[in-house]
Amino acid sequence: MTGTGGLVVVGASLAGLRAVEAARRTGYAGPITLIGAEEHLPYDRPPLSKAFLCGDAAEVTPFRSEQELRDDLGVDLVLGAPADGLYPAQQLVSVGDRQFEYDAAVIATGASPRRLPGADGVAGVHHLRTVDDATAIRDALDAGARTVVIGAGFIGSEVASAARKRGLSVHVVESLGLPLVRSIGAEVGSVCADLHVANGTDLRLGVGVSAVESSGGRVTGVRLDDGSVLPADLVVVGIGVQPATGWLEGSGVPLHERDRGVVCDATLWTGLPGVYAAGDVAHVANPLFDDELMRLEHWTNAAEQGAAASKHALDPASATPLAPVPYFWSDWYGRRIQFVGTPRADEVQVVATAGDAFTALYRRDDRIVGALTIDRPREIMKFRRRIAERGAFADAVEFATAS
């Protein structure tokens, strides 16, 4: 047996790091163990598909140095070693033949990219989740790769944008007729899709991929189900992610039937004593939106939930429901896309377009529940506030039109 109870955090990325920091900030002085599958110290992912790929940021620096983590925060780091089991009856997390006892545990294992069948192991085919992925993609872009992105989601779109910035030819292939429907709704998804076209990216909508073609183990192109072939030296697969919960199967931690994410209540509790979850891995009921169960893949969500999860796990009596307004941003072709709230709405109204800037508002009953802006950094948080206050849709429309 290793460790003497205390707080065990599984997943050493944003949510896990915030869990550790918050535990110390609230004055917890007991042992903390941070277990991470990657060799790396916790680092920030959003720049991986932005500044890092464009060549504006040379390296990825960790959030905190090893010394800060070990000495200042008093964390036992277990890196490069995935947890492979959680045993609620014994309050243990296992990592190979090591076992870590916990009084409080935070599950923050995030999500891993969905794989494209038949493309694994082909050189030149990549996903984008880790710094190692990003380095490989950047090397290929440096070499002037003809690029095909499979999936017109946010991360794939940022990759396309980085490749265009370097003047490379890029195709984006999306099997759905409209992109981004799940994250921002159909109407606005098509407005974002137009940004690809306007910036010289070839966007193929409603076409599936039938095979990744290779020669000598290296990718040569992508065959589409209309029979055409897009030649490629670099293929980036961005078809979504899957919560990283394989290690929890059979543990008793409730997993969502659709995607196996961890199901929690609004305080991030899994229902097992002392076990809470945070970040991309977690489905959480949100009281602000009729208790809709949300699994978000957003930076701010992981940061907020990470901090709350360890506080609640260490002191369950103090746990209060979170009712956040989700927020994410994405940068395409030098344009800033920002979204707050939920896309699940009765109506989406495009309220203001001026030059290239754009605002759309999302209505549920007579409330405003979401807002998307392109290049309106001054307004987005004002909508967020209205959403948090359950403000009237009509007032938000008036505000958007006036500003």
Partner 1 sequence: MRIVVDRDKCEGLGMCEAMAHEFFEVGEDGFVELLDERPAESHRQDIAAAVDACPVLALSLAD
Ligand X SMILES: Cc1cc2nc3c(=O)[nH]c(=O)nc-3n(C[C@H](O)[C@H](O)[C@H](O)COP(=O)(O)OP(=O)(O)OC[C@H]3O[C@@H](n4cnc5c(N)ncnc54)[C@H](O)[C@@H]3O)c2cc1C
Sheet holding 209-215, edge to edge: 209-215, 218-224, 229-231
Residues 175-234 touching ligand X, rule: CB under 6 A, are none
Does 275 participate in binding partner 1 (rule CB under 8 A)? no
Residue type, 178: L
Residues 7-66 touching ligand X, rule: CB under 6 A, are 10-16, 35-38, 45-46, 48-49
Q: Which does 377 bind (CB under 5 to 8 A by kind): partner 1, ligand X, none?
A: partner 1
Q: Which does 109 bind (CB under 5 to 8 A by kind): partner 1, ligand X, none?
A: ligand X
Does 28 participate in binding partner 1 (rule CB under 8 A)? no
Does 336 participate in binding partner 1 (rule CB under 8 A)? yes
Residues 295-354 touching ligand X, rule: CB under 6 A, are 297-299, 302, 328-330
Does 128 participate in binding ligand X (rule CB under 6 A)? yes
Residue type, 86: L
Does 161 participate in binding ligand X (rule CB under 6 A)? no
Least separation in angstroms between residue 170's CB and partner 1 is 24
Does 384 participate in binding partner 1 (rule CB under 8 A)? yes
Q: Which is nearer to ligand X, 224 or 302 (CB)?
A: 302
Least separation in angstroms between residue 366's CB and partner 1 is 23
Among 54, 263, 303, 352, binds partner 1 (CB under 8 A): 303
Least separation in angstroms between residue 146's CB and ligand X is 21
Binding stretches for ligand X (CB under 6 A): 10-16, 35-38, 45-46, 48-49, 82-83, 108-111, 128-129, 155, 244, 247, 279-281, 297-299, 302, 328-330
